[in-house]
Chains A and B, each alone.
Chain A
Amino acid sequence: MSEMPKPKEVLSGLDHRPPRKGWMDTPVDIRKGMYCYAANPKSVEYLGLPHAREWNPLDDDWKLPENWQEILHKGFKERLDRFRSIKVFMDICVRCGACADKCHFFIGTGDPKNMPVLRAELLRSIYRNDFTLSGKIFGKLSGSRKMTVEVLKEWWYYLFQCSECRRCSVFCPYGIDTAEITIFGRELLNLLGLNIDWIATPVANCYRTGNHLGIQPHAFKDMLDFFVEDLEEMVGVKVEPSFNKKGADILFITPSGDVFADPGTYTAMGYMLLFHYLKERYGFDITWSTYASEGGNFGFFTSHETMKRLNSKMYAEAKRLGVKWILGGECGHMWRVIHQYMETMNGPTDFLEEPVNPITGTKFENARSTKMVHIAEFLADLIKHDKLELDKSRNDHLKVTFHDSCNPARGMGLFEEPRYVIRNVCNHFYDMPANTIREQTFCCGSGSGLNAGEDMELRLTGALPRANAVKYVHEKFGVNMLACVCAIDRAALPTMTEYWVPEVDVTGLSELVANALIVPGQHDRTTDLRGEDLPGREEEEDGE
């Protein structure tokens, strides 16, 4: 992988255009910064997934099993029989081009194979060859080709350059969903042991310890205790989170990323303060679980089966603890799994009650079967019924915009709840341009398990459309805080803003709420949850 430019590349931009070749004749070029490292065989093995081995994407030899083509063909066929979505999406694309420029990875990288239609064609070309009459008769003319190692590498490279954000699917006249195709493609790659480590290892950890980071139960509790100390210092009240508590009203599950990395930690502190408030004021008892200590589900990025295996803990734990229903924290793909997969996979849920907010009496009709409520829905309900005492002005130093996370946006439709909450806890809120938010929101560029370190260029280019819109509201309204309801966002967006718009920081919804919340027994709060002085309130501190 020589880094030296070829002589033509140097100053030939004026005369030289790359020769026009069809995409099928352009072999994949696996570039540094654009791919993630191969899965650690130990993680693959722990999960009992096939063909665990050391391999390197840059090597010619990927050490594939001898009959890999047969495995893929069989896997393909099985899934065509199981998923109508795949079968229909393989057949009906007319290549109208509506999706082509909707993908943040295409917009940011400029690589034409990142056009959603082509990402799908990578698989369709094999489908036509293997499963259709016209492919067999007309060969390449029908857009079909034979499966080769080159094609496999192309699959791998581009299927791990899709964040399953579904933006293209909104614009497709037939609703063809590239996320569905990527999920399916990655499932096939996993049959050959071709996962990336940023997904495989968190999955193995989660399976064993209950969370992606492999935090053991006592350490998980330690981490929350650490926040208890911080909160006591900043708010002046001692919160007492409960763990694995049988008979609690509610089980709370959130991504472990929030207990572990800034600025997600502040969101976690926000939850804790909120739960403390609800306990003190209304006697509402919420417990955390160390066994189901992960809301996120990187199994979703591996295969349907792996997703189900990890997700099973949520209901199992709710059943064991005997809670009434489950409250879910701020996370993107976690909510796609909960909303569109969980009860189908691991239900039915006769051991839980239809969720009712005992404080407001509101029945969460929309969650009556799955029995899991999103914290933004829960918060919006509490605020609407005036059950939270709030001092908005404590967020006056923030000019906030909201990033709709892909999965709650296009896999759920959670748009108004978080905005309602923000407007009620902040005085300054500005939305980004309409074609970059709500159902047209741009991905953070790091979703679906791509937020590793080694693919930094991929993540930064993928984040460019989002960053560009953030930059616009920053320049126009002075926005300095980007709020979101997703743990991957909170992990990835700070890096993105530091590169593209360094003046903007990232926060979770619950952190903003906790900043504004007036907690019984609190002292004069002179800082926010980050321990940063609130402008205009420092003097009071002097007076104390």
Chain B
Amino acid sequence: MPLEKILETYKNAILKRWFEAVAQTYPAETARFLQGQQDPFANPVGGATRTSLEGIFDQLAGDLAVDMDIEAIAAHLDPVIRIRAVQSFSPSAAVGFVFFLKKILKEELGQESRGRSELLNRLDARIDDTALVAFNIYMKCREKVFQLQSNEMRNRTFSAFQRAGLVRDVPEDDPDKNNPIE
């Protein structure tokens, strides 16, 4: 059986453990809530994490003969990283959950992984790549947070000056509207 097929068989078990492991990066009381509450509106963190992990896994476990679709990986990583980037995690803890998968795979696949070291290595490399993409997204999110902070500050003071008539000479297409930081 090709490794992809095996991964498919073990998908649910692996995802379950992975999600549990990610949930346990939160305090125990919270972890239980994240796992137990299935309503995506009452539990957006759990909901987004669950969906993200599945999407990431499907990409990772896809055809190992071709290159992994980095953009697709990024799209699936975004929601979960976007949340973890503002949740008081250290940067490593925010993205480190990607590596949990390595240990889980090793334990879940067990016997099945015999004689497939090359493919497994490739899977390993994919996980590493995923972690790096996660880090990129994390940084983008953090930059966004700082940008939002400075935008708010700027809008507040600048508009105040402007409306108070202190910067009357601003040209028609004032920079505030173009938002040069974007």
Contact = CB atoms under 8 A, between A and B. Distances in A.
A and B touch in the complex (CB under 8 A): yes
Interface in A1-59: 3-5, 9-11, 13-14, 17-18, 20, 31, 33-34
Secondary structure dominating the interface of A:
helix
A106 B27 CA distance: 12
A110 B34 contact: yes
Nearest to B30: A110
Contact of B86 (A33, A115, A219): A33
B111 interface: no
A247 to B, nearest CB: 29
Contacts of B148: 456, 495, 498-499
A433 B86 CA distance: 25
Contacts of B28: 17-18, 20
**Which of B47, B93, B152, B160 has the most chain A CB within a 10 Å cutoff?**
B152
A130 interface: no
Given A10-B96, A13-B24, A107-B45, A33 B152 contact: no
Contacts of A215: 164
Contacts of B82: 499-500
B159 A261 contact: yes
Contacts of A261: 155-156, 159
**Which of B24, B30, B40, B103 has the most chain A CB within a 10 Å cutoff?**
B30
Nearest to B33: A101
A5 B165 contact: no
B67 interface: no
Contacts of B155: 261-262
A11 to B, nearest CB: 6
Given A9-B92, A213-B160, A110 B26 contact: yes
A529 B28 CA distance: 50
A116 B163 CA distance: 41
Contact of B41 (A9, A100, A435, A457): A435
Contact of B91 (A5, A13, A468): A5
B165 A219 contact: yes
A323 interface: no
B9 interface: no
Contacts of A461: 83, 86-87
A135 to B, nearest CB: 24
B96 A13 contact: yes
B181 to A, nearest CB: 11
A261 B145 CA distance: 20
Nearest to B152: A453
**Which of B29, B97, B103 has the most chain A CB within a 10 Å cutoff?**
B29
Contact of B87 (A109, A433, A456, A469): A109
Contact of B99 (A11, A259, A260): A11
Interface in B30-56: 30, 33-34, 37, 39-45, 47-48
A223 interface: yes
Interface residues of B, number: 51
Interface in A491-544: 495, 498-500
B42 A464 contact: no
A498 B143 CA distance: 13
A5 B152 contact: no
A369 interface: no
A435 B39 contact: yes
A101 B45 CA distance: 12
A222 B165 contact: yes
Contacts of A386: none
B96 A11 contact: yes
A457 B27 contact: no
Contacts of A498: 144, 148
B121 interface: no
A465 B88 contact: no
A42 B43 CA distance: 42
A60 interface: no
A472 interface: yes
22 contacts: A9-B90, A9-B92, A13-B22, A13-B96, A13-B97, A13-B100, A14-B21, A18-B27, A108-B87, A109-B87, A110-B87, A111-B30, A259-B163, A261-B156, A435-B41, A454-B149, A456-B149, A457-B88, A460-B145, A468-B47, A472-B41, A499-B82
Q: Which 6 A-B pairs have the closest CB atoms?
A: A5-B90, A468-B44, A110-B30, A112-B29, A110-B26, A457-B86
